Structure 1
């Protein structure tokens, strides 16, 4: 039996709507020059968003447990696609941007390490097909 179910239906053009078992919906589409209407993100973009969301939730949870005050937290994901079909991500860089007190930087680094090595399942999946790198930028 499946743990999670996502039902995705074609709605015309190149547009699909995914309905999640928790009631959320998501539109997936492509650009006009590829036959879509640009009404939603592309599937591979969603993968990068899932990666950022997964590790971001881990880091916030861990920093809260460590009682680290932070602000201006964001995550950029940069990826390179292979030249040949099927085009897959070959290199992915996750860039964390965060403001913390200088004495809390070591805790941020610990939280990022725990996310990438232990908790973030999306990161673990990406690691099966792409070279992963991580960077923390403090502001």
Structure 2
């Protein structure tokens, strides 16, 4: 075995290990979760189901525009301001297709674009918070 074959063999092993690491870090089916500190997280389906279970009877949802994506949130965290409803954090976004489904890579970029178009800044006295506008 010459040096080139040895190097190519090592590179193939590194590439295989890297693919495995990426598949662990970025699951094929995921959900988007905006946590209490308003950080956007990509989580696996098992974690998403745990969050949904945590909402319990207080779970509420709405479709995001005319897409197949659904925003699920704890209704106790909804803010009503001047007749408008907002959710500042603690919501989950998944695909609605005869039940809740995970998002794949192409869905995630579409969801992020939809979310950006519906996020607004609320001024509450001296404080400003980003919130998803319901409705």
Larger of the two Rg values belongs to structure: 2
Higher relative contact order (CA 8 A, sep 6+): 2
- Same fold, judged at TM 0.5 (above): no
TM value normalised by structure 1: 0.28
Normalising by structure 2, report the TM-score: 0.29
